[in-house]
Structure 1
Amino acid sequence: MRPDENDGSMESRLARLRGIVQGVGFREACVRQARALGITGWVRNRSDGSVEVMVQGSPEQLAEMCAWLRNGVPSAVVDSLEVNSLRSPVDRLDQFERLPTV
């Protein structure tokens, strides 16, 4: 079930992960997990070696996804996970996808 942006249950969060998070299948696993949870957004590598994830969904969905980000890929080593709520209005995305590195 996708939260409706009009009922106030939809939230957006931006996460940055640092550690051994590139070259270990993290983005593909992230896409699968987000789609399984029914949330939307994107994941991308950053040129500094980190991974950035933007997620949209209900508070419960996002809490589950953020917990997964820390431990979801056995081959990854997450040294730090920073998650920020996006306060300004964010357009509702239709799916969760992998974006190119920036």
Structure 2
Amino acid sequence: MESGENDEPLETRLVRVRGQVQGIGYREACVRRASALGVTGWVRNRMDGSVEAMLQGSPEQLATLCAWLSEGMPAALVDAFEVTEVQPPFARFDTFERLATQ
């Protein structure tokens, strides 16, 4: 973890995406998109068929990634999209990774 070299605010959000989002490469696409945007955190499948992601970055980075997640990739059919802002203090993530199903 690096100390904040820029003064841009860091936010953390927990996102739940419901619909046809498992078995189509949605998590891998999320990892690629988040990494390209500089967002850190994780993404995982849930046993109920949804996808859950913990996102950390600037408000602009998170808005861009959340917009992508809510629309989904072309093969995804997003039925519901929920975002919960995680209040500090929160753990700092160094990368964005795919976790095992929870």
Could you tell me whether the CA contact under 8 Å between 2:39 and 2:55 is conserved in 1? yes
The CA distance in 1 between the partners of 2:50 and 2:82, in whole Å, is 11
Cα pair 1:13 1:54 within 8 Å, conserved: yes
Residue segments in structure 2 that go unaligned for 5+ positions in a row:
none
Question: 1:58-101 deviations in whole A, cap 9, x for unaligned?
Answer: 00000000000012410000000000100131111000000000
Q: Partner residue of 1:13?
A: 13
Q: TM-score, normalised by structure 2?
A: 0.92
Q: 1:48 is paired with a residue of what secondary structure?
A: coil
Distance in 2 of aligned mates of 1:53 and 1:5: 25
1:41 alignment partner AA: G
- Matching residue of 2:93: 93
TM-score (norm 1): 0.92
Q: 1:5, 1:92 within 8 Å by CA — same for their partners in 2?
A: no
Partners of 2:42 and 2:32 in 1: CA distance = 11
2:17 maps to amino acid: L
* Aligned partner of residue 60 in structure 1, secondary structure: helix
Q: Return 5+ residue gaps in structure 1 as ranges.
A: none
Runs of 4+ deviating beyond 6 Å:
none
